[in-house]
Amino acid sequence: MKPLKHLTLILAASAFAALLIAAMFALPPPTVNLAASVAADMDRSGTAHPVTAVLLNFRGYDTLLEIGVLLLALLVVLAVSPREQHAGSAAAEPVLQMLARIAVPLMLLAAGYLLWAGAYRPGGAFQAGAVLGAAAVLLFLAGLLPGWNAPTLRLRWGLAGGFLVFLAVAAALLGQGALLRYPPEAAGALILLIEAALTVSLGLILAGLFLFLS
Protein backbone atom coordinates (compact mmCIF):
# COMPACT_ATOMS: atom_id res chain seq x y z
CA MET A 1 0.00 0.00 0.00
CA LYS A 2 3.03 2.25 0.51
CA PRO A 3 3.62 3.30 -3.16
CA LEU A 4 -0.05 4.18 -3.58
CA LYS A 5 0.06 6.37 -0.47
CA HIS A 6 3.20 8.10 -1.72
CA LEU A 7 1.67 8.70 -5.12
CA THR A 8 -1.51 10.16 -3.63
CA LEU A 9 0.49 12.46 -1.37
CA ILE A 10 2.72 13.65 -4.19
CA LEU A 11 -0.31 14.33 -6.42
CA ALA A 12 -2.05 16.20 -3.60
CA ALA A 13 1.10 18.25 -2.95
CA SER A 14 1.40 19.16 -6.63
CA ALA A 15 -2.24 20.25 -6.70
CA PHE A 16 -1.61 22.30 -3.56
CA ALA A 17 1.40 24.01 -5.17
CA ALA A 18 -0.65 24.80 -8.28
CA LEU A 19 -3.40 26.25 -6.08
CA LEU A 20 -0.90 28.42 -4.17
CA ILE A 21 0.62 29.75 -7.38
CA ALA A 22 -2.81 30.46 -8.88
CA ALA A 23 -3.74 32.33 -5.69
CA MET A 24 -0.60 34.45 -5.91
CA PHE A 25 -1.36 35.41 -9.51
CA ALA A 26 -4.90 36.41 -8.52
CA LEU A 27 -3.69 38.54 -5.60
CA PRO A 28 -4.73 42.22 -5.87
CA PRO A 29 -2.03 44.88 -5.41
CA PRO A 30 -1.41 45.74 -1.74
CA THR A 31 -3.49 48.57 -0.30
CA VAL A 32 -0.91 49.74 2.26
CA ASN A 33 2.50 50.87 1.10
CA LEU A 34 4.87 50.00 3.94
CA ALA A 35 7.97 50.96 1.97
CA ALA A 36 6.68 54.51 1.64
CA SER A 37 5.89 54.87 5.36
CA VAL A 38 9.36 53.51 6.22
CA ALA A 39 10.96 55.98 3.81
CA ALA A 40 8.95 58.83 5.33
CA ASP A 41 10.32 58.15 8.84
CA MET A 42 13.90 57.30 7.83
CA ASP A 43 15.43 60.59 9.02
CA ARG A 44 14.12 59.98 12.56
CA SER A 45 15.31 56.35 12.72
CA GLY A 46 19.00 56.91 13.48
CA THR A 47 20.27 54.76 10.58
CA ALA A 48 20.45 55.21 6.84
CA HIS A 49 19.43 51.70 5.78
CA PRO A 50 15.71 50.87 5.75
CA VAL A 51 16.07 47.20 6.77
CA THR A 52 18.20 48.12 9.80
CA ALA A 53 15.72 50.86 10.68
CA VAL A 54 12.84 48.37 10.60
CA LEU A 55 14.78 45.71 12.51
CA LEU A 56 16.03 47.86 15.35
CA ASN A 57 13.79 50.89 15.46
CA PHE A 58 10.34 50.52 13.94
CA ARG A 59 9.99 46.82 14.81
CA GLY A 60 12.62 46.54 17.54
CA TYR A 61 10.18 44.42 19.51
CA ASP A 62 10.58 41.56 17.03
CA THR A 63 14.35 41.64 17.29
CA LEU A 64 14.20 41.65 21.08
CA LEU A 65 11.97 38.58 21.06
CA GLU A 66 14.16 36.96 18.42
CA ILE A 67 17.30 37.08 20.52
CA GLY A 68 15.17 35.78 23.39
CA VAL A 69 14.07 32.83 21.23
CA LEU A 70 17.70 32.10 20.31
CA LEU A 71 18.74 32.11 23.95
CA LEU A 72 15.82 29.82 24.79
CA ALA A 73 16.80 27.40 22.02
CA LEU A 74 20.37 27.32 23.34
CA LEU A 75 19.13 26.64 26.87
CA VAL A 76 17.03 23.70 25.64
CA VAL A 77 19.99 22.36 23.63
CA LEU A 78 22.08 22.55 26.80
CA ALA A 79 19.33 20.83 28.77
CA VAL A 80 18.86 17.86 26.44
CA SER A 81 22.44 17.23 25.32
CA PRO A 82 24.29 14.74 27.50
CA ARG A 83 27.13 16.14 29.56
CA GLU A 84 29.65 13.41 30.01
CA GLN A 85 31.04 12.50 26.60
CA HIS A 86 33.31 15.09 25.13
CA ALA A 87 35.40 14.32 22.13
CA GLY A 88 37.68 17.00 20.82
CA SER A 89 37.63 17.47 17.07
CA ALA A 90 39.22 14.48 15.42
CA ALA A 91 40.58 16.17 12.32
CA ALA A 92 43.87 17.92 12.88
CA GLU A 93 45.14 18.33 9.35
CA PRO A 94 47.94 20.89 9.11
CA VAL A 95 46.60 22.42 5.87
CA LEU A 96 43.16 22.93 7.38
CA GLN A 97 44.69 24.37 10.54
CA MET A 98 46.84 26.81 8.61
CA LEU A 99 43.89 27.90 6.47
CA ALA A 100 41.79 28.38 9.60
CA ARG A 101 44.53 30.48 11.19
CA ILE A 102 44.57 32.70 8.11
CA ALA A 103 40.80 32.85 7.65
CA VAL A 104 39.65 33.52 11.20
CA PRO A 105 41.29 36.96 11.65
CA LEU A 106 39.83 37.98 8.29
CA MET A 107 36.43 36.69 9.40
CA LEU A 108 36.65 38.80 12.56
CA LEU A 109 37.48 41.81 10.40
CA ALA A 110 34.57 41.01 8.08
CA ALA A 111 32.24 40.70 11.06
CA GLY A 112 33.28 44.12 12.31
CA TYR A 113 32.79 45.60 8.87
CA LEU A 114 29.36 43.98 8.47
CA LEU A 115 28.29 45.37 11.83
CA TRP A 116 29.39 48.87 10.88
CA ALA A 117 28.02 48.65 7.34
CA GLY A 118 24.55 47.85 8.68
CA ALA A 119 24.07 51.57 9.33
CA TYR A 120 23.92 52.44 5.65
CA ARG A 121 23.87 49.28 3.50
CA PRO A 122 22.91 45.60 3.83
CA GLY A 123 24.62 44.21 6.91
CA GLY A 124 24.14 44.43 10.63
CA ALA A 125 24.19 42.37 13.78
CA PHE A 126 22.78 39.13 12.37
CA GLN A 127 25.13 38.87 9.44
CA ALA A 128 28.10 39.81 11.63
CA GLY A 129 27.03 37.33 14.31
CA ALA A 130 26.69 34.59 11.70
CA VAL A 131 30.26 35.25 10.52
CA LEU A 132 31.54 35.16 14.12
CA GLY A 133 29.73 31.89 14.75
CA ALA A 134 31.12 30.42 11.54
CA ALA A 135 34.63 31.45 12.60
CA ALA A 136 34.25 29.58 15.89
CA VAL A 137 32.89 26.52 14.08
CA LEU A 138 35.82 26.65 11.64
CA LEU A 139 38.29 26.78 14.53
CA PHE A 140 36.55 23.80 16.13
CA LEU A 141 36.55 21.76 12.91
CA ALA A 142 40.25 22.48 12.42
CA GLY A 143 40.96 21.19 15.92
CA LEU A 144 42.13 24.56 17.22
CA LEU A 145 39.21 25.12 19.59
CA PRO A 146 37.91 22.42 21.94
CA GLY A 147 34.19 21.66 21.98
CA TRP A 148 32.23 23.30 24.76
CA ASN A 149 31.05 21.15 27.61
CA ALA A 150 29.27 23.41 30.05
CA PRO A 151 29.26 27.19 29.82
CA THR A 152 31.56 28.98 32.24
CA LEU A 153 30.41 32.12 33.99
CA ARG A 154 32.14 34.37 31.46
CA LEU A 155 30.61 32.50 28.55
CA ARG A 156 27.17 32.77 30.15
CA TRP A 157 27.52 36.54 30.36
CA GLY A 158 28.57 36.60 26.72
CA LEU A 159 25.66 34.43 25.64
CA ALA A 160 23.06 36.46 27.53
CA GLY A 161 24.74 39.85 27.13
CA GLY A 162 23.01 40.90 23.91
CA PHE A 163 19.59 40.10 25.30
CA LEU A 164 20.39 41.84 28.61
CA VAL A 165 21.70 45.00 26.91
CA PHE A 166 18.64 45.08 24.65
CA LEU A 167 16.33 44.59 27.64
CA ALA A 168 18.15 47.28 29.63
CA VAL A 169 17.80 49.78 26.78
CA ALA A 170 14.12 48.86 26.40
CA ALA A 171 13.55 49.28 30.15
CA ALA A 172 15.42 52.59 30.29
CA LEU A 173 13.32 53.96 27.44
CA LEU A 174 9.95 52.95 28.88
CA GLY A 175 9.49 56.58 29.97
CA GLN A 176 9.14 57.50 26.28
CA GLY A 177 5.61 56.09 26.38
CA ALA A 178 6.08 53.02 24.17
CA LEU A 179 8.36 50.01 24.15
CA LEU A 180 11.64 50.74 22.33
CA ARG A 181 10.77 54.22 21.12
CA TYR A 182 14.17 55.89 20.91
CA PRO A 183 14.56 59.66 21.15
CA PRO A 184 15.56 60.61 17.57
CA GLU A 185 18.81 62.36 18.58
CA ALA A 186 20.10 59.31 20.51
CA ALA A 187 18.69 56.64 18.20
CA GLY A 188 21.88 56.11 16.21
CA ALA A 189 24.10 55.58 19.26
CA LEU A 190 21.56 53.31 20.97
CA ILE A 191 21.14 51.19 17.85
CA LEU A 192 24.91 50.83 17.51
CA LEU A 193 25.19 49.80 21.19
CA ILE A 194 22.45 47.20 20.81
CA GLU A 195 23.85 45.91 17.53
CA ALA A 196 27.36 45.52 18.96
CA ALA A 197 26.07 43.58 21.96
CA LEU A 198 23.81 41.50 19.72
CA THR A 199 26.70 40.66 17.39
CA VAL A 200 28.84 39.19 20.18
CA SER A 201 25.93 37.28 21.72
CA LEU A 202 24.64 35.99 18.39
CA GLY A 203 28.09 34.79 17.41
CA LEU A 204 28.49 32.97 20.71
CA ILE A 205 24.95 31.52 20.59
CA LEU A 206 25.28 30.29 17.00
CA ALA A 207 28.71 28.84 17.79
CA GLY A 208 27.28 27.32 20.96
CA LEU A 209 24.43 25.64 19.09
CA PHE A 210 27.16 23.80 17.15
CA LEU A 211 29.83 23.37 19.82
CA PHE A 212 27.55 22.23 22.63
CA LEU A 213 26.02 19.66 20.30
CA SER A 214 29.37 18.41 19.04
Partner 1 sequence: MTTGLIFACAGAILFTMGVAGVMLLDHLLRRILAFNLMGSGVFLVLVGLAQRAGNPDPVPQAMVITGIVVAVAATALALALARRLFTLSGGYTLPETPDD
Site for partner 1 in 118-177 (CB under 8 A): 126
Nearer to partner 1, 78 or 96 (CB): 78
User: Dihedrals φ, ψ of 182, to 5°?
Assistant: -80, 145
Site for partner 1 in 21-80 (CB under 8 A): 21, 24-25, 27, 29-30, 34-35, 38, 50-51, 53-55, 58-59, 62-63, 66, 69-70, 73-74, 76-77, 80
Is there a contact between 111 and 132 (Cβ–Cβ < 8 Å)? yes
Near partner 1 by CB under 8 A: residue from 3, 4, 20, 177 = 20
Closest CA to 88 of 132, 35, 34, 149: 149
Q: Is 123 helix (H, G, I), strand (E, B) or coil?
A: coil
- At residue 192, the 3 state secondary structure works out as helix
Q: Nearest-CA neighbor of 133 among 121, 153, 116, 148?
A: 148
Least distance to partner 1, CB of residue 125, Å: 10
Query: 107, 141, 139: which is closest to 214 by C-alpha?
Result: 141
- How far does Cα 127 stand from its chain's mean position? 7
- The number of residues that bind partner 1 (CB under 8 A) is 43
- Contacting range for partner 1; rule: CB under 8 A; set: 3-11, 103-111, 143-151, 158-166: 3-11
Q: What is the binding site for partner 1 (CB under 8 A)?
A: 6, 9-10, 13-14, 16-17, 20-21, 24-25, 27, 29-30, 34-35, 38, 50-51, 53-55, 58-59, 62-63, 66, 69-70, 73-74, 76-77, 80-82, 126, 202, 205-206, 209-210, 213
